[in-house]
Amino acid sequence: MNYDLIIVGGGPAGAAAAVYAGRKQLKTLLITDNFGGQSLVSNGIENWIGTLSITGYDLARALENHVRAQEMVELSPAERVSGIQKTAEGFIVSTDQAHQYQGRAVLVTSGGRRRRLGVSGENEFDGRGVVFCSTCDAPFFRNKVVAVVGAGNAGLEAVVDLFPYATKIYLLNRRAELKGDPLTQGLVEKSEKVTIIHQVVVTEILGNQVVKSVKYKHQDTDQIEELPVDGVFIEIGSIPNSEFLQGVVELNELGEVIIDHKTCETSVPGLFAAGDVTDEMYKQNNIAVGDAIKGTLSAYNYLLKQPG
Ligand SMILES: Cc1cc2nc3c(=O)[nH]c(=O)nc-3n(C[C@H](O)[C@H](O)[C@H](O)COP(=O)(O)OP(=O)(O)OC[C@H]3O[C@@H](n4cnc5c(N)ncnc54)[C@H](O)[C@@H]3O)c2cc1C
């Protein structure tokens, strides 16, 4: 076997795993196509514990430096894992660069990506009024008027996150009724700050340097309306980067890797997973890091019990 541990992904979870694996003297390979993960695009992360504020870019550089300081960790920073195969000795990890690596254990931290509306203005104003993480960015919308798109649990929670900050919140709902847990739904419905607009789909996000308005279409009449807003929170779910794990480990109906939350073990012995790619309820940097450390220590204990 070439490596004791192969880590898939270079987000906060993968970086944390690499640092802990290095310090445990595991011969480690980290394979990723980008460093820093999803919050790389963020202008200000204000809940990275021990740091008042850091940009996604600076966080990514700090994580990468910490990984590169580990003598036992090799980096493959420009390829994507395309498949994982269990063998008698461990695993063969294949990549889109037609490489194959052998590892005694694997920790998957390939994270996720936010589901997008696919409308004009969404990419252009990403980070300039278009928001994909309300827990992260609600405090930036103090005294602002915002629209939240999506009325499932994530959308409802975004509205609640915005209560202390926004002066007015429009909740744009595709369906005729809300679809979230009754408690959060009750909070949203009774708030005087909130106007719920049912059965509409967003057609365009407009602005200049920053978001100025959002256009939506009534599904029953096709009538288009424009709402002046300072921010558009898009909360229509996230997609785990788990395509290469189909048929390899047990996934839930959302495609998230099902793990034992004490150990980060998956349904396959020797294959661990942590962070946003898993069925962890809260998708946050600090949580991804903590879980990845758990997964690395579990992998270490697993390896101690394996021959060779
Ligand atoms: C815009 C935005 C802002 C955010 N702001 C905050 C914040 O302020 N505070 C906070 O706590 N959380 C924030 N989050 C959430 C936070 O970014 C995630 O919870 C965190 O990044 C999860 O870390 P992860 O390492 O599990 O996954 P990711 O960050 O998704 O990293 C996954 C890594 O795996 C790589 N990868 C994916 N597929 C493959 C593959 N097949 N092969 C190899 N590599 C692969 C990716 O390129 C990436 O490097 C934000 C999210 C977004 C979208």
Q: What is the mean pLDDT of residues 34-41?
A: 86
pLDDT at 41: 74
Tell me the pTM.
0.86
Of all residues in the chain, what percent carry a pLDDT higher than 90?
88
Ligand 1 close to Cβ of residue 207 (< 6 A): no
- Return the bridge partners of 96, or none: none
Q: What is the mean pLDDT of residues 181-192?
A: 93
From ligand 1's centre to the CA of 225, what distance in Å? 34
Q: Which residue lies with its CA nearest to atom 27 of ligand 1?
A: 111
Q: Which two tokens stand for residue 246?
A: 């189909």
- Chain center to CA of 305: 32
* pLDDT confidence bin for 39, thresholds 50/70/90: confident
| pLDDT surpasses 80 at 42 | no
pLDDT tens digits for range 99-139: 999 999 999 999 999 999 999 999 999 999 999 989 889 99
Ligand 1 close to Cβ of residue 63 (< 6 A): no
Give the residue, out of 241, 286, 293, with the most ligand 1 atoms within 8 A of its beta carbon, to mutate for a pocket test: 241
pLDDT tens digits for range 194-227: 999 999 999 999 999 999 999 999 999 999 999 9
50 CB neighbour count, 10 Å cutoff: 6
* pLDDT confidence bin for 308, thresholds 50/70/90: low
Q: Where are the alpha helices (DSSP H) in the chain?
A: 12-23, 56-68, 134-137, 153-162, 182-190, 285-304
Q: Which residue lies with its CA nearest to atom 13 of ligand 1?
A: 284
